Amino acid sequence: MPLTVDELKAKAVQVRRDSIEMITAAGSGHPGGSLSETDLLVALWFRVLRHDSKNPQWAARDRFILSKGHGCPALYSCMAHAGYFDPAILPTLRKLGSPLQGHPDRRFIPALEASTGSLGNGLSIGIGIAHALKLDKTDARVWVMVGDGECQEGQVWEAAMYAGAHGLDNLTLIVDYNKKQLDDMVKHILPMDPLGGKFAAMNWNVMEIDGHNMQLVVEALEESRKVKGRPTCIVAHTITGKGVSFMENDPKWHGVAPTKEECAKALAEIGA
């Protein structure tokens, strides 16, 4: 059963805790973006996405692609708690032989729709799937999540032009707009604003939301299903390292694992 907004908020706490613990155990990973995307992923996997963990290849399922593959700890946590694999393996993130690779890999987790992590490719993959679903005359939907720094890739804009021109209304793009990337603030490297305006100019339906307001997140995701004639882009304004004070808005935490002491402090702040 789909979770209520309050239940989704509680689930997001668990996913944030999992992400921090996984990355700490691995000694490497990407906590900043994993925490910023959490509310969006939780709303998708436990409220909006049509899927069945007992039948991962269900033809009528929605498809989800995490183009910003380095944010996979939060995705793995969602999939584990949704029943795709045992949560007990979450601490094996990035370990030799673990199915939980540092970027999503279909060779290890067949329920994934795509192997991702080479930034800029996810939207193009999603467009191909969306076209195929149109040909199959199914109402299944494709959801793609990208990072804002990722949107500096030219392939994203070629894909965006194509999707808008072909009216792929079974496609929703979610931008985790935390305004940070590997080396610095996005605005200091290659500014993206007005991000929503760029998509709107290419015939996308655009919604801009607070990506940590669970009620607004759910409403935007559900509303995108109703849009006809063009794809939807949800620009979700988020905070790097959301929920952990010393990680929030600090580009340092894009790709640095916490120490055991920092992990304990982070978990205390996230809560039970």
What Cα–Cα distance (Å) separates residue 233 from each residue in 137, 164, 180, 221, 268? 22, 10, 19, 10, 34
* For range 256-271, the mean pLDDT: 97
Task: Convert the pLDDT of each residue in 61-93 to its tens digit.
Answer: 999 999 999 999 999 999 999 999 999 999 999
Q: Residue 152 sits in which domain range? A: 5-270
If one counts the domains in the chain, the total is: 1
Average model confidence (pLDDT) for the chain? 96
Per-residue model confidence as pLDDT tens digits over 93-120: 999 999 999 999 999 999 999 999 899 9
pLDDT level of residue 182 (50, 70, 90 thresholds): confident
pLDDT grade, residue 135 (50/70/90)? very high
Q: Closest Cα to residue 130, out of 108, 151, 160, 110?
A: 160
**Average pLDDT of 131-139?**
96
DSSP, collapsed to helix, strand or coil, labels residue 136 as coil
Q: Domain holding 157: CATH number?
A: 3.40.50.970
Helices (H), the chain: 5-26, 31-43, 72-81, 122-135, 154-165, 186-189, 195-201, 214-224, 260-270
Using CA atoms, how far residue 183 sits from 106, 110, 163, 186, 256, in Å, is 29, 33, 30, 9, 12
Task: Measure the N-to-C terminal CA separation of the chain; round to a whole number of Å.
Answer: 23
CA 240 to chain centre: 13
Residue 145, φ and ψ in degrees, nearest 5: -110, 130
Inter-axis angle of helices 72-81 and 5-26, nearest 10: 120
Long-range contacts of 213-217 (CB under 8 A, 24+ apart): 214/5, 214/8, 214/9, 214/12, 214/39, 214/42, 214/43, 215/5, 217/39, 217/40, 217/43
Check pLDDT > 80 for residue 1: no
- 242 in Cβ contact with 266 (< 8 Å): no
Which residue matches tokens 């620009």? 235
Confidence (pLDDT) at 2 = 87
Cβ atoms of residues 179 and 209 within 8 Å = no
Residue 38: pLDDT band (50, 70, 90) is very high
Q: What is the pTM of this model?
A: 0.96
Please name which of 229, 231, 258 lies closest in space to residue 243, comparing C-alpha atoms: 258
